[in-house]
Amino acid sequence: MTKKNVLFLCTGNSCRSQMAEGWARLFHGDKIEAFSAGIEAHGMNPNAMQVMKEAGVDISGQSSKLASSLTDIPLDLVITVCGHADENCPAFLTKAKLVHVGFDDPPKLAKEAASEEAALDCYRRVRDEIRDFVRDKLSALIITSQNTGSVDRITFTITNDEEAVPSSNNLPGLAAPS
């Protein structure tokens, strides 16, 4: 079976997309080749690396890179993990199936934290939301992107119970649990 090329895209490729790439490699490394990139490259966020390491996933070998560095890779699926990347997705990436899942920005959340531990808790919450999405929804997205030629774009929202729910119910394997 040929591995599918999946890109996680965010603004700076320092935190959310890096976490998603790490989780994808862990949970789906046999089925996909995971990449992450940004509209800009801000470098690796040390807090993101720390909370991923706490969860048993070492992302310190990954690097922050621009989406334009991946133009030679035929991408099957592009998942934007922040609104800015969704709104500014580079045109060459739109040839792949596009999925948007807007996760909160841990550095922005952490600015309001009363302590370093509270700041890290912001990163942990988003880490866990990304983990759940990648673990529970990514396989179905890959299958859907292969089998449903009419689906070019899917948008998920994180509900109050932190469940990623597709905005369309007619997507096999992606419906919210009853």
Using CA atoms of 174, 176, 177, 178 in order, give the dihedral in degrees to the nearest 10: -130
Tokens (6 digits) for 107: 């550095």
Is 15 annotated as catalytic? no
Q: From the candidates 9, 10, 79, 81, give the one annotated as an active-site residue.
A: 10
Q: From the candidates 32, 70, 82, 154, give the one annotated as an active-site residue.
A: 82
Half-sphere exposure of 24 (CA within 13 A, CB side): 27
Half-sphere exposure of 121 (CA within 13 A, CB side): 7
Q: From the candidates 89, 126, 134, 138, give the one annotated as an active-site residue.
A: 89
> Of 51, 30, 19, 4, nearest to 132 (Cα)?
19
Which contiguous run of DSSP H or E holds residue 97? strand 97-101
Is 89 annotated as catalytic? yes
Residues marked as catalytic: 10, 82, 89
